[in-house]
Amino acid sequence: MTHSDSDVFSLPSVADTHDHDYHQLVVVLDGNTDFDIDSKGGRQMRSGSGCIVPSSEGHQFVGLGDNRIMVVNLPVPPQKAITDEEYQVVSRLFDQAAYFELNPRLQVLASALSGELQQYPDDQLLARACGNTLLSAIRHQLASQDIKTRGQQLDIEKLDQFIELNLSKRVQIGQLANFCFLSVSQFHERFKERTGMTPHQYLIRKRLERAQYLLREGHTPVQVAEMSGFSSQSAMTSTFSQTLGITPLKYQKQFRPL
């Protein structure tokens, strides 16, 4: 099994301890297994249970009689089968180790996907598609149940990293909410409580900060507008002038080092 695949198999009855350089999602399809994750301790998992194992976590596992599990591995860094933005969102699932219980609908989904994997074990495209489907579905379940607290306490540092990577693509509020495992309304409310400003105001500030830096570096206003995520040069000029009291060109002439 390569690191970008999903697979279905049985755990041995002899305990095995290991770690690896990729994230791993484990779902128990049938039977019982014992899992022990370094930072979370041990737990017996039954059909419908699962765990999230970040790449940094050592773990031990053993099968208890007849069992069947589905494993999804997410490589670090991502391979070309997934975009950088998709990876940034999905990989947040692995910020910390966790155990969870699948809701009935996702148990049916996991069972159906595992059946396809077993029917076509050599189809790597299918393995990646099944893995991405299960990862995304479980991510939404964990968010809605607040099994993890990351949605309750916004990680501004990680959010800033996401914004910096995507600002030139005109990142939207919905993307930021999705990155934080929240609905747009929840994200808006919690973000304002945390920062004292709306997400839109925060994005504008980030765009202006980047625009000021790029102007000082000597880029043309047209280039700066595009690289900072403004819809046009005129939109940047208007926002720049209203907020900072100076046009981009005047700012560049005044503050660019000789």
Residues 62, 13: Cα–Cα separation, whole Å: 5
Residue 19 resides in a domain: yes
Residue-wise pLDDT tens digits, 50-73 = 888 888 888 888 887 788 888 888
Do 161 and 40 sit in the same domain of this protein?
no
Do 68 and 160 sit in the same domain of this protein?
no
Residues 129, 112: Cα–Cα separation, whole Å: 13
> CA-CA distances (angstroms) from residue 39 to 28, 54, 95, 200?
20, 10, 12, 37
Of 151 and 246, the one with more pLDDT: 246
Inform me whether the pLDDT recorded for 109 exceeds 50: yes
Inform me whether the pLDDT recorded for 110 exceeds 80: yes
pLDDT, position 148: 45
Do 17 and 124 sit in the same domain of this protein?
yes
Question: What's the one-letter identity of residue 40?
Answer: K
pLDDT, position 6: 60
- Interval 22-35 mean pLDDT: 86
CATH of the domain at 109: 2.60.120.280
- The domain boundary, picked from 145, 179, 197, lies at 145
Q: Lowest-confidence range among 24-33, 88-97, 224-233?
A: 88-97
Residue-wise pLDDT tens digits, 157-209 = 888 888 888 888 778 888 888 777 777 888 888 899 888 999 999 999 999 99
Number of domains in the chain: 2
Do 84 and 132 sit in the same domain of this protein?
yes
Do 140 and 185 sit in the same domain of this protein?
no
Residue 73 resides in a domain: yes
Which residues span the domain enclosing 252? 150-258
Residue 136 resides in a domain: yes
- The domain boundary, picked from 110, 145, 180, lies at 145
Inform me whether the pLDDT recorded for 240 exceeds 70: yes
Do 108 and 134 sit in the same domain of this protein?
yes
Residue 11 resides in a domain: yes
Residue 114 resides in a domain: yes
Do 18 and 137 sit in the same domain of this protein?
yes
Residues 42, 45: Cα–Cα separation, whole Å: 9
Residue 1 resides in a domain: no
- The domain boundary, picked from 145, 165, 197, lies at 145
Do 103 and 186 sit in the same domain of this protein?
no
Do 15 and 131 sit in the same domain of this protein?
yes
pLDDT, position 222: 94
- Interval 228-255 mean pLDDT: 93
Q: What is the mean pLDDT of the chain?
A: 82
Inform me whether the pLDDT recorded for 143 exceeds 80: no
Do 132 and 13 sit in the same domain of this protein?
yes
Do 134 and 17 sit in the same domain of this protein?
yes
pLDDT, position 80: 52
